[in-house]
Amino acid sequence: MMNIGRRGVHYLHTLNNVPKNLTEKGQSRVIEASLTLIRERAKLKGELVRALGGAKASSSLLGVPLGHNSSFLQGPAFAPPRIREAIWCGSTNSTTEEGKQLDDPRVLTDVGDVPVQELRDCGIDDDRLMNIISESVKLVMEEDPLRPLVLGGDHSISYPVVRAVSEKLGGPVDVLHLDAHPDIYDCFEGNKYSHASSFARIMEGGYARRLLQVGIRSITSEGREQGKRFGVEQYEMCKFSKDRPFLENLKLGEGVKGVYISIDVDCLDPAFAPGVSHIEPGGLSFRDVLNILHNLQADVVAADVVEFNPQRDTVDGMTAMVAAKLVRELTAKISK
């Protein structure tokens, strides 16, 4: 039984005392219709970008409003609409720091959300839900030159997303993972899909060749052992001043299918991003993150921004703006 956090999202009420057969048929039809809707939106956006022409890679937002695999609070389920609002907010212009125009659909489109809450309300379990997320990512990748830029949701979503990217491209990717935590427990509180276990699942599945974790400052002995077991490169904050020159000059992805970037907003110090579930002081500054991204040499095939929790944000939505700028600069990185 899921433990519902105070400000969390309810697992909408379940379907009992009803012929299992009837329920299952209905669920299958709902799943199919959900995927059809995502396919049609992706298709329309793909047609649009191809008609405009000239883009080799363009990022396309896919929201995954899922918060129930968090071990603490479930607010990230509310994040995608808030990030979109902040992206287009009139307080800033629609240019990235290096000059790309975000309102050009060849740079950025949007295929909307996976209807996570409604699927759960229909009684669909996590095994099926993870598959639907993977399928949705593949539907975006189907529409060349769209590349998925996924808006979480808690960090559990990175597993089905990276899995889909790797499966679709036919091989592992390199993963640059910015986070306060390694999220690599074998299993957390009995939940193999926990947001604290997603990178264990990714590494087990062979979906990533290299995994670089940056910003780490809350790690247990299990976290360090799992890191060793999977050959993860863990860069802890207590040595960041030493590691900085290396991290601000990364070159990744050679010999594999490309690079995936997963940004947990709590990689930032809470001064820069208070709207997260896990306040862990001593993190990166926003400029540190941009320096790492701007100087990274890589073919970024997909990315995610996760764990923004609007229920912990400031009244004026500072962290929404932070998440939005991460999305904007990732867009700049992906599209070409």
**Binding site for Mn(2+): residue ranges?**
155, 179, 181, 183, 264, 266
Tokens 């990315």 sit on residue: 303
Distance in angstroms (rounded) separating the CA atoms of residues 243 and 291: 13
Instruction: Examine residue 36 and tell whether it contacts a copy of itself (CB under 8 A).
Output: yes
Q: Which is nearer to a copy of itself, 90 or 255 (CB)?
A: 90
Contact status: 226 vs a copy of itself (CB under 8 A): no
| 3-class SS of residue 20 | helix
**x-marked contacts with a copy of itself along 108-127 as a string, rule CB under 8 A:** x-x-xx-x-xx--xx-----
Token pair for residue 32? 């199919």
- Both tokens of 305, joined, read 């921004």
Size of the site for a copy of itself (CB under 8 A): 104
Binding flag, residue 154, a copy of itself (CB under 8 A) = no
Q: Which of 2, 7, 192, 230 binds a copy of itself (CB under 8 A)?
A: 7
SS3 at position 272: coil
Return the residues of window 201-220 that contact a copy of itself according to CB under 8 A: 217-220
Contact 97, 37 (CB under 8 A): no
Q: Choose which of 1, 99, 127, 190 interacts with a copy of itself (CB under 8 A).
A: 99
235 phi, psi to nearest 5 deg = -105, 105
> b/e string for 209-240 if b means 16 or more Cβ within 10 A?
bbbbbbbbbbbeeebbebbeebebebbbbeeb
**Site stretch for a copy of itself (CB under 8 A), options 18-26, 141-149, 150-158, 161-169:** 18-26
Cα distance between residue 333 and residue 321, in whole Å:
18
Annotated binding residues, written as ranges, equal: 155, 179, 181, 183, 264, 266
Among 57, 62, 73, 175, contact with a copy of itself (rule: CB under 8 A): 73
Query: Which one of residues 168, 195, 312, 333 is an interface residue with a copy of itself (CB under 8 A)?
Result: 312
322 binds a copy of itself (CB under 8 A): yes
